[in-house]
């Protein structure tokens, strides 16, 4: 009888483990290959069809598709890959389907980490159709070895391709060919057998000439951007994507930073400067800027739009303007504080955008310096934002005052930590008791199934009634198990919150009496700072002292 009971309890457990899969299909086209000679089997459509067929066969519902077009498999910062991972964390999908392992990535260590650790931890079913990998069907040692081997081969392939492409691009750049993707505004790419050449785009040539002419006449980048926006010219990227010279309502406008990039780009004099950033996958070297003497410079690579003399005049004018600016370091002997301790924390309430640190000189004789956080109201766009700013010293004072207030309320660090710990422990204890009660309920239902089977085996009830009783009990078990999982997750969150709370309290006390906190301490204590149009601001701390003193949620 005991054996029979165990068998049916096992079936009950199996039933509760049934999962309904919501899948995301991931596809990728490599950046290393060009459309005209890419094999059809590598196309997005083929990848999607392959994955959808498998999903249909396995009765898996496909909720979303994610496509990274022309991204390297060694780069896991791909936008759609990142969106997919976020959807997994948000529990929107719990299954990933790819055509083959190389579509997900070509970096051996990261691929191994994803398949062996990350996906199982997040409860994700991982399917690679062509490789016959489906983690819900278990990976035997032979298949696991095969997956590892394929990841290593893909990794080696990526590194080999990287070396070949780097060599090929380097040679083409040395011979004056354009190796970029998007040409400088005012030029178009002409594809030749040996490589790509830049050719003047007569449709927008006059706009580039106007930028340089206005600058030579003494106009600032801001004034040039305003001029282009009033004329209604489409930005370089809008023109590249649509071919329209004039912008439509709602489309991006010219920005002074874009003008700056154009005015300092030597391509407009016919000179190509390439290889500014490099990486070496074969040696594990990430993308980085290289020294000027290592860059590839080729004079007279194409027809210029601007003469070298005018280009140099523009550069000299910009240099003089910066040197004569009243905020320039050369004008003053102030001791500068270059560290932005509030980086990523200060935001504009109106737009939600981050406010950036600025240096300002003031006083009758311009003999005082301060730092502020403000929005850029002089970008050159026609819709001018309202000025929003806050002084850095005001932020320092507000946080220092609040820390003092916290410490005064708490009185004793030791007692406060003990009090907060106790409140969290009470919540954890209650969660443990509730979990035990639910486990007892599961045991009751399992015994109910056992009893029903005994009645059926003795002929007291027919098979139909036994099946009905069993299904009802299994349904109860499934519901209870979901409640248990929810309680266990809550307990984990409480543990995590407890650790973070206690660390925050220790950090508060470590800031006692300090008027100017370090960047690390500020980021440890503060969630964000919101600045309003009237220059008022609100500091939002990661924890609320009153909440910590008053109680911890246990339900």
Residue 554: what pLDDT? 36
Cα separation, 363 vs 186, in Å, equals: 45
Confidence tier at 51 by pLDDT (50, 70, 90): very high
Cα separation, 166 vs 176, in Å, equals: 15
Is the pLDDT assigned to residue 145 strictly greater than 50? no
More confident residue, 113 or 109: 113
Residue 310: what pLDDT? 94
Lowest mean pLDDT among 3-12, 139-148, 218-227: 3-12
Confidence tier at 148 by pLDDT (50, 70, 90): low
Helix (H, G, I), strand (E, B) or coil at 431: helix
Is the pLDDT assigned to residue 42 strictly greater than 80? no
Cα separation, 143 vs 128, in Å, equals: 12
Cα separation, 421 vs 38, in Å, equals: 61
Lowest mean pLDDT among 74-78, 153-157, 351-355: 153-157
Cα separation, 305 vs 269, in Å, equals: 6
Confidence tier at 311 by pLDDT (50, 70, 90): very high
Residue 146: what pLDDT? 53
Residue 3: what pLDDT? 41
Strand-strand pairing, 125-128 and 95-98: parallel
Confidence tier at 293 by pLDDT (50, 70, 90): confident
Is the pLDDT assigned to residue 456 strictly greater than 60? yes
Residue 77: what pLDDT? 83
Is the pLDDT assigned to residue 546 strictly greater than 50? yes
Residue 215: what pLDDT? 94
Phi, psi values for residue 358, rounded to 5° = -130, 150
Residue 15: what pLDDT? 42
Q: Which two tokens stand for residue 501?
A: 């709370």
More confident residue, 70 or 45: 45
User: What proportion of the chain, given as a percentage, has pLDDT over 90?
Assistant: 31
Residue 329: what pLDDT? 45
Q: pLDDT tens across 84-108, in order?
A: 999 998 889 999 999 888 888 766 5
Confidence tier at 415 by pLDDT (50, 70, 90): confident
Is the pLDDT assigned to residue 217 strictly greater than 80? yes
- CA quadruple 82, 88, 91, 96: dihedral sign: positive
Is the pLDDT assigned to residue 233 strictly greater than 60? yes
User: What proportion of the chain, given as a percentage, has pLDDT over 70?
Assistant: 78
312-344 exposure pattern, b = at least 16 Cβ within 10 A, e = fewer: eebeebbeeeeeeeeeeeeebeeeeeeeebbee
Residue 106: what pLDDT? 65
Q: The CATH number of 187-320 is which of 3.30.70.580, 3.40.50.10210, 3.90.1750.20, 3.30.420.40? A: 3.90.1750.20
How is the chain split into domains, by residue range?
A: 19-162, 187-320, 340-555
- In the chain, what's the furthest Cα-to-Cα distance? 105
The residue-averaged pLDDT of 401-424 equals 86
Q: pLDDT tens across 480-493, in order?
A: 988 998 898 889 98
Residue 555: what pLDDT? 35
Is the pLDDT assigned to residue 332 strictly greater than 60? no
Residue 376: what pLDDT? 67
DSSP 178: B
Lowest mean pLDDT among 158-167, 199-208, 455-464: 158-167
Residue 158: what pLDDT? 54
More confident residue, 165 or 421: 421
Q: pLDDT tens across 248-258, in order?
A: 988 899 988 89
Residue 93: what pLDDT? 92
Looking at domain 19-162, its CATH architecture is 3-Layer(aba) Sandwich (3.40)
Helix (H, G, I), strand (E, B) or coil at 489: helix
The residue-averaged pLDDT of 512-526 equals 90
Number of C-beta neighbours around residue 386 at 10 A: 11
Is the pLDDT assigned to residue 303 strictly greater than 80? yes
Confidence tier at 308 by pLDDT (50, 70, 90): very high
More confident residue, 83 or 165: 83
Residue 43: what pLDDT? 74
Task: Identify the helix (H) or strand (E) that includes residue 171.
Answer: helix 141-174
Phi, psi values for residue 374, rounded to 5° = -150, 165
Cα separation, 26 vs 485, in Å, equals: 29
The residue-averaged pLDDT of 445-452 equals 91
Residue 187: what pLDDT? 95
More confident residue, 266 or 115: 266
The residue-averaged pLDDT of 441-445 equals 92
Is the pLDDT assigned to residue 454 strictly greater than 80? yes
The residue-averaged pLDDT of 296-305 equals 91
Number of C-beta neighbours around residue 412 at 10 A: 11
Is the pLDDT assigned to residue 1 strictly greater than 70? no
Please report how many Cα atoms fall inside a 13 Å half-sphere around the Cα of residue 6, on the Cβ side: 3
């Amino acid at each position: 009888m005991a054996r029979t009971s165990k068998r049916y309890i096992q079936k009950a457990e199996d039933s509760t483990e049934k999962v309904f899969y919501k899948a995301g299909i991931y596809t990728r086209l490599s950046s290393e290959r060009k459309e005209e000679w890419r094999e059809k089997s590598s196309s997005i459509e083929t990848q999607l069809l392959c994955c959808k067929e498998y999903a249909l066969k396995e009765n898996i519902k496909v909720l979303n598709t994610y496509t990274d077009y022309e991204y390297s498999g060694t780069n896991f910062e791909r936008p759609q890959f990142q969106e997919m991972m976020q959807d997994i964390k948000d529990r929107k999908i719990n299954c990933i389907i790819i055509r083959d392992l190389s579509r997900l990535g070509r970096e051996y260590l990261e691929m191994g980490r994803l398949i062996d650790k990350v996906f199982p931890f997040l409860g994700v079913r991982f399917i690679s159709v062509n490789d016959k990998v489906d983690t819900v069907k278990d990976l035997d040692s032979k298949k696991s070895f095969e997956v590892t081997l394929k990841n290593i081969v893909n990794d080696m392939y990526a590194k080999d391709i990287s070396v070949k492409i780097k060599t090929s691009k380097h040679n083409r750049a040395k011979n004056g060919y354009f190796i970029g993707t998007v040409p400088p505004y005012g030029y178009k790419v002409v594809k030749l057998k040996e490589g790509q050449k830049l050719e003047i785009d007569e449709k927008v040539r006059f706009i580039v000439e106007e930028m340089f002419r206005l600058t030579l006449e003494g106009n600032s980048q801001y004034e040039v951007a305003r001029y282009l926006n009033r004329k209604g010219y489409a930005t370089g990227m809008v023109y590249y994507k649509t071919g329209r010279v004039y912008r439509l309502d709602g489309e991006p406008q010219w920005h002074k930073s874009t003008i700056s990039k154009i005015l300092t780009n030597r391509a407009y004099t016919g000179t190509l400067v390439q290889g500014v950033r490099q990486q070496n996958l074969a040696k594990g070297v990430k993308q980085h800027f290289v020294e000027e003497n290592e860059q590839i410079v080729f004079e007279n690579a194409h027809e210029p739009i601007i003469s070298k003399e005018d280009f140099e005049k523009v550069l000299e004018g910009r240099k003089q303007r910066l040197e004569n600016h009243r905020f320039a370091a050369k004008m003053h002997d102030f001791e500068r504080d270059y560290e932005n301790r509030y980086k990523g924390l200060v935001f504009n309430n109106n737009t939600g955008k981050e406010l950036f640190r600025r240096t300002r000189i003031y006083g009758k004789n311009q003999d005082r310096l301060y730092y502020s956080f403000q929005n850029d109201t002089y970008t050159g766009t026609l819709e001018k934002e309202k000025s929003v700013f806050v002084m850095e010293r005001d932020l320092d004072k507000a946080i220092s005052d609040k820390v003092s207030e916290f410490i005064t309320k708490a009185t004793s660090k030791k007692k406060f930590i003990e009090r907060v710990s106790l409140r969290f422990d009470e919540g954890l204890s209650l969660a443990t008791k509730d979990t035990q009660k639910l486990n007892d309920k599961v045991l009751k239902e399992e015994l109910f199934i056992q009893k029903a089977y005994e009645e059926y085996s003795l002929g007291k009830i027919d098979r139909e009634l036994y099946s009905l009783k069993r299904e009802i009990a299994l349904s109860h078990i499934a519901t209870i198990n979901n409640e248990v999982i929810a309680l266990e997750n809550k307990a984990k969150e409480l543990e995590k919150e407890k650790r973070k709370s206690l660390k925050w309290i220790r950090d508060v006390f470590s800031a006692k009496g300090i008027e100017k906190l370090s960047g690390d301490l500020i980021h440890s204590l503060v969630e964000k700072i919101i600045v309003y149009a009237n220059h008022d601001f609100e500091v939002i701390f990661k924890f609320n002292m009153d909440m910590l003193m008053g109680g911890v949620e246990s339900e």
